Amino acid sequence: MIQLYDCTLRDGAQREGISLTAEDKLKIAQRLDEMGIHFIEGGWPGSNPKDVEFFRRAKGFSLNHAKLVAFGSTRRAGVSPERDANLRALVAAGTPVVTIVGKSWDFHVTQVLETTLKENLAMIFDSVSYLKAKGLTVFFDAEHFFDGFKANKDYALKTLGAAARAGAHCLVLCDTNGGSLPTEIAQAITAVKEAIDSPLGIHTHNDAELAVANSLVAVRLGVSQVQGTINGYGERCGNANLCSVIPALQLKMGIPCISDEQLSRLTEVAHYVSEIVNLVPDAHQPYVGRSAFGHKAGLHVSAFMKCPQSYQHLPPEMVGNKSRVLVSELSGQSNVVYKARERGLKVDHKDQAQAILEQVKTLENQGFQFDGAEASFDLLVKRAQPDYQPPFELVDFMVVVEKRRRPPSSGKKEESLSEAMVKVRIRDEVIHTAAEGNGPVNALDAALRKALLQFYPHLASVRLTDYKVRILDESGGTGSQVRVLIESTDGRDQWRTVGSSANIIEASWLALVDSLEHWLLKEEPGEGFSPPGSPS
């Protein structure tokens, strides 16, 4: 069985833009333990206050599957292990397992550590021996091993030999610069196995987009421990992505790592960690990304509806994900029918599906995009029904943006004022309202709500949470077609709508109207609102 070693809490936290608190680390460690990870590297004791706090709190932290690991380096040159502050901090961390990193590339020994090759071997041997004598399980990370192997094969192997003689439980071969090819990984591991009889691990970085491939090659050649991070987080281009390594080992190579139930939580854990580190999940990440099992081309969807495995390399439920069908100008009728069913909508016959599809293609040619705005697609389907009655209809709107000079006493020379006037028809009434806002879109939103709230007071719970504008044709300058994507919520659900026009105000209006109309249609009388004239 392969040992899974997670270093998200240390190596992953070295990614630009990530900063984890001790509480964040404890939360992530709990999820990793529940998923069946065998070793969780918590950080470098003594290197910073957060890691000091983490290891202090972790002493009372209960893990069911994993063992917590403290990370550090070999003793300093010319300093005995007993006097080395780093090694003492590792012991004080109180973890059953420690990992120490040592130099295996002669270039780093002489140019970075500025010591001799002989002293570096002694540093490795002494450090492992000292920690072993304290009753700890010791893993040795041979830093830059593959670069060192290419530069000076004999010396790189000697560093491993020093750690093995001292009693290291696992020798971890590190592609620290992330530039090795799978053939180079294979060549080095084959040589190591011929020279040294010790359990081996692999720790790869992704600078050449090969971290996962290199990890899998290593396992195929007999490596028993794989190190990596959730979502591949890490310095520069990241580390081997455990969210790809684990299912590849278990489902592709038939090598058990965790239980099937734990594997089915992989997507949940990946998204949980991305939320904790405050990074948007990569929708196109293999296995766990939102688009990993998304189908857009009409030919694909037609086949997928008959036989899902025709365009999926495995059932997404195995990793806790799900299939998605997208609707776009590349779609066929199958996309429309499947998507409508998925959204709980009816498409009664092929002619209706074809009419919706033609409208999608026409609108996408005008700049709309429905695969990121499913609420707008819902409205296309509903509006195609012969008995469709919209909750409101636009009569007209006008927006005025004014620049005013302020009196000298105000401290400001000028101020901007946006005012919108809206006329909408709600059943047989035409409502005329006006409102000011801190911009033309905000003013339009306020004026439209002022009209609708008279009939649908619960609409007050709906608020805009995101507003994105994309220029579709930069060569058109200020007259370019733009696409506006609005995300809204009522505190329970979220939905996205889209509008497109050469006029940014009109594009915003179209997306805004769709957002409010979508909510009004999905709310049943008595729950979200009571239509005029309905019994109370």
- pLDDT at 382 (0 to 100): 85
Instruction: Look at residue 530 in the predicted model and tell me its pLDDT.
Output: 42
Structure confidence by residue, pLDDT tens digits, 353-406: 777 777 777 776 667 777 677 888 888 788 888 888 889 998 999 999 887 776
DSSP sequence for 341-374: HHTT----SHHHHHHHHHHHHHHHHTT---TT-H
Helices 266-276 & 22-34 angle (0-180, nearest 10) = 180
For all residues of the chain together, what is the average pLDDT? 88
Mean pLDDT of 94-122: 96
Mean pLDDT for 467-487 is 80
Which DSSP helix (H) or strand (E) runs through 449?
helix 440-452
- What are the chain's domains? 3-258 (3.20.20.70), 294-373 (no CATH), 392-455 (3.30.160)
Q: Quick one: pLDDT band at residue 527, thresholds 50, 70, 90?
A: very low
Q: What is the pLDDT of residue 146?
A: 98
Structure confidence by residue, pLDDT tens digits, 78-101: 999 999 999 999 999 999 999 999
Q: How far apart are CA 225 and CA 475, in angstroms?
A: 53
**pLDDT for the residue 54:** 94
Question: What would the mean pLDDT of 36-45 be, rounded to a whole number?
Answer: 96
pLDDT beyond 60 at 176? yes
Instruction: State pTM to two decimals.
Output: 0.74
* Top-confidence residue, 347 or 506: 506
Phi, psi of 142 (to 5 degrees): -85, 95
Exposure string of 463-474, with b = 16+ CB inside 10 Å and e = fewer, is eeeebeeeeeee
DSSP conformation class of 405: E
pLDDT-derived band at 411, boundaries 50, 70, 90: low
> If you average pLDDT over residues 412-416, what whole number do you get?
70
Q: Is the pLDDT of residue 532 over 60?
A: no
| 470 confidence band (pLDDT: 50, 70, 90) | confident
Residues 6 or more apart whose CB falls under 8 angstroms from that of 477 comprise: none
| Res 355: pLDDT | 76
Residue 300 has pLDDT above 80, yes or no: no
The answer to whether residue 233 scores a pLDDT higher than 90 is: yes
Q: What is the pLDDT of residue 202?
A: 98
Single-letter amino acid code for the residue at 467 = Y
Do strands 429-437 and 414-426 pair parallel, antiparallel, or not at all (unpaired)? antiparallel
The DSSP bridge pattern shows strands 137-143 and 97-103 to be parallel
Residue 98's Cβ-count burial label (10 Å; 0-12, 13-18, 19+) is buried
The mean per-residue pLDDT over the stretch 254-281 comes to: 94
Phi–psi pair at 64, nearest 5 degrees: -90, -30
Per-residue pLDDT for 535 more than 80? Answer: no
Q: Which of 249, 227, 224 is nearest to 238 (CA)?
A: 227
What are residue 69's DSSP bridge partners? 41, 97
429-437/463-471 β-pairing: unpaired
